[in-house]
Amino acid sequence: MTNFKANFKSNFIFITGGVVSSLGKGIITASLASLIEELNYKVNIIKLDPYLNVDAGTMNPYEHGEVFITFDGGETDLDIGHYERFTNILFSKNNNITAGKIYMDLITKEREGVFLGKTIQVVPHLTNEIKEKILKLSDGFDFILVEVGGTVGDIEGLPFLEAIRQMAIEYKNKVKFIHITFVPFLKHTGELKTKPSQHSIKKLQESGIQPDLVIVRSDIPITQEIKNKIALFSNLLPKYVINIPNLSNVYQVPLLLLNQNISNFLFNNKRKNDLKERSKWVDLNIIIKKIERQSNVINIAIIGKYTNLKDSYKSLIEALRHSSIENKAKINIKLIDSTKHENRIIKKELQYIDGFIIAGGFGTRGIQGKINILKYLREKGIPTLGICLGLQLMVIEFFQNVLNIKEATSQEFILDKNNTLKDDDRYIYVVKLMEDQKYIKLVGGTMRLGNYKCKIIENTLAFKIYQQNEIVERHRHRYEINNEYLDLLESKGFIVSGINEELNVVEIMEYVNHPFYFGVQFHPEFNSRVFRPNKLFTFFINLLKKRKS
């Protein structure tokens, strides 16, 4: 038992996964939370990640998808982004609990003498640490959804399974388990195979956990016979086996869950009967279906270097989808690898694109490709949005090719073998390391992270977009535009239209001699939700829609 006094009002729903990773646990968890929220219950979501990183901040996107930034500066798992996009909840960095964070806190307590000479063990000390963190986030909420990362059977996930098993005993009748599994379809035989799911459920039961509901992912809808078979091996009635086949749009998931009577599983009162009829997801899906039937398509390209994995730009892709729904416009998103454009731009690959987004990133790989593409987009008058590093590269390209200062670059790109800055008179640093970053040695969690204010300059495109004097957006960067060179930029029409007054940092720049050449230092994609799209993306797609018509 833990020392923390739990709020017994809370109902806990633990979501596990089996067979393979990337089953969509985050989408399903977010969908469940949105349905609970619609009945005005207070709901919170926690993501447990078994990896030993303290947070997701130091991981390459190819390792684990994008890093999602919370309002309070947390570098978290991308599933936190799913939770925010589907709900009205503002999640904290504390909502992502990693094994690395658990071990670090536990060992710190041991070093401080908290355990008074005890031998520190996985059970009970590590499992208690996990439970305490969950319970601290449950105070004042009706429902706590806890997604357990990884797949059942992973060795690193065992302490988390043990912790939630114990919670089912300690808070009897307050805990439910949902297991998400996968039924593969063998094309050469035309069969759906349940054996992997049977093994996954058995593995979960070996951990002492009996699922109360099984959600089956599949390439095609499963039959009632398959449901019956999985129910049999799960010790469940068939009505507690739900199928979520692959869908054209993730925002269909809440309605599909409703149509399979998920309300009966979640709620024990009469209010659940009203949810299906008045759910906001019904109207949204009607709009989505109308958009999908349109023949006119707006083509948008995202220029980056992690394009082999779409999850690397998950929030950006979803933010564009949110604004496409708002504009009732059908969009097609193409990912373009900037590394292929290092020596010369491949014009064929850039054809038929209506608007471009230069995505953020770190390091030197793919930089010259982005600069080459930016030159082409600026000269051709093609709508372009630069985000974070994208803005910085807009400035560098402008110096090199408009102001003809070829030495212009960023301090980020001129590092010695020890990854420290070099003083080199051959370069002009139009993008520089921020003052408060100069003496920081640790790389994890030390950037300018989370919410910062941005003052919008009146009589600019930025003011036209936001229609307000101040906005708050999320950040993730170490480098900034060098204010010493702003006069040169503005003399040629590349002006500052948004600033952080407290730190005197450039937040927004726009090129007045262009239909739309607009760069932001922040990440607007982290503040976009399906029912509340970010204004910048909504304006961008509306502009492309008008140009296309």
The string of pLDDT tens digits covering residues 316-367 is 999 999 999 999 999 999 999 999 999 999 999 999 999 999 999 988 999 9
CATH number at residue 122: 3.40.50.300
- Give the pLDDT confidence score for residue 532 in this predicted structure: 96
> Does one domain contain both 313 and 279?
no
Average pLDDT over residues 52-67: 87
- Give the pLDDT confidence score for residue 420 in this predicted structure: 57
- Judge whether 48 lies within some domain: yes
277 pLDDT more than 80? no
Query: Mapping DSSP to helix (H, G, I), strand (E, B) and coil, where does residue 36 land?
Result: helix
Q: What percent of the chain has pLDDT over 90?
A: 81
32 pLDDT more than 60? yes
- Judge whether 5 lies within some domain: no
- More confident call, 414 vs 395: 395
- Among residues 132, 129, 124, 77, the alpha carbon closest in space to that of 103 is found at 129
195 pLDDT band (50/70/90 cuts)?
A: very high
- Judge whether 4 lies within some domain: no
5 pLDDT more than 60? no
116 pLDDT band (50/70/90 cuts)?
A: confident
- Judge whether 406 lies within some domain: yes
For residue 40, give every residue at least 6 positions away whose Cβ sits within 8 Å of its Cβ, in sequence order, or none: none
By annotation, the residues acting in catalysis are 388, 523, 525
- Judge whether 371 lies within some domain: yes
- Judge whether 359 lies within some domain: yes
> Does one domain contain both 74 and 179?
yes
270 pLDDT more than 70? no
431 pLDDT more than 80? yes
- Max Cα-Cα span within the chain: 74
- Regarding beta strands 517-520 and 384-387, do their DSSP bridges make them parallel or antiparallel, or are they unpaired? parallel
Rg (CA), the chain: 25
523 pLDDT band (50/70/90 cuts)?
A: very high
In this structure, the number of other CB atoms found within 10 A of the CB of residue 328 comes to 12
Across all residues in the chain, what is the average pLDDT? 92
* Residue linked to tokens 């925010």: 84
Specify the number of domains making up the chain: 2
170 pLDDT band (50/70/90 cuts)?
A: very high
Average pLDDT over residues 404-421: 78
314 pLDDT more than 80? yes
Of 109-123, 408-422, 434-448, 494-508, minimum mean pLDDT range? 408-422
33 pLDDT more than 90? yes
Token readout for 44 is: 């919170």
Point out the domain boundary residue: 266, 289, 312: 289
> Does one domain contain both 15 and 102?
yes
Average pLDDT over residues 255-280: 81
Average pLDDT over residues 104-113: 93
Token readout for 67 is: 């890093």
Q: Say if CB 542 and CB 495 are below 8 A apart.
A: no
- Judge whether 497 lies within some domain: yes
- Give the pLDDT confidence score for residue 445 in this predicted structure: 80
CATH number at residue 348: 3.40.50.880
> Does one domain contain both 250 and 371?
no
Point out the domain boundary residue: 289, 304, 332: 289
> Does one domain contain both 206 and 312?
no
Average pLDDT over residues 87-92: 95
> Does one domain contain both 32 and 112?
yes
268 pLDDT more than 50? yes
418 pLDDT more than 60? no
> Does one domain contain both 70 and 163?
yes
Point out the domain boundary residue: 289, 316, 344: 289
> Does one domain contain both 452 and 336?
yes
> Does one domain contain both 171 and 306?
no
The string of pLDDT tens digits covering residues 11-25 is 999 999 988 888 899
Its domain, for residue 351, covers 294-548
- Please tell me which of 245-249, 340-344, 444-448, 487-491 the model is most confident about, judged by mean pLDDT: 487-491
Q: Say if CB 478 and CB 491 are below 8 A apart.
A: no
> Does one domain contain both 370 and 457?
yes
In 3-state terms, the chain is what percent helix, strand and coil (to 5)? Answer: 40, 25, 35
Strand partners, 97: 48
- Give the pLDDT confidence score for residue 446 in this predicted structure: 86
1 pLDDT band (50/70/90 cuts)?
A: low
331-342: string of b/e by CB count within 10 Å (b at 16+)?
bebebbbbeebe
> Does one domain contain both 377 and 453?
yes
> Does one domain contain both 412 and 470?
yes
- Judge whether 3 lies within some domain: no
Query: Mapping DSSP to helix (H, G, I), strand (E, B) and coil, where does residue 458 land?
Result: coil
The string of pLDDT tens digits covering residues 214-231 is 999 999 999 999 999 999
417 pLDDT more than 50? no
- Give the pLDDT confidence score for residue 416 in this predicted structure: 46
- The vertex-356 CA angle with 374 and 352, nearest 5°, equals 105
pTM assigned to the model:
0.93
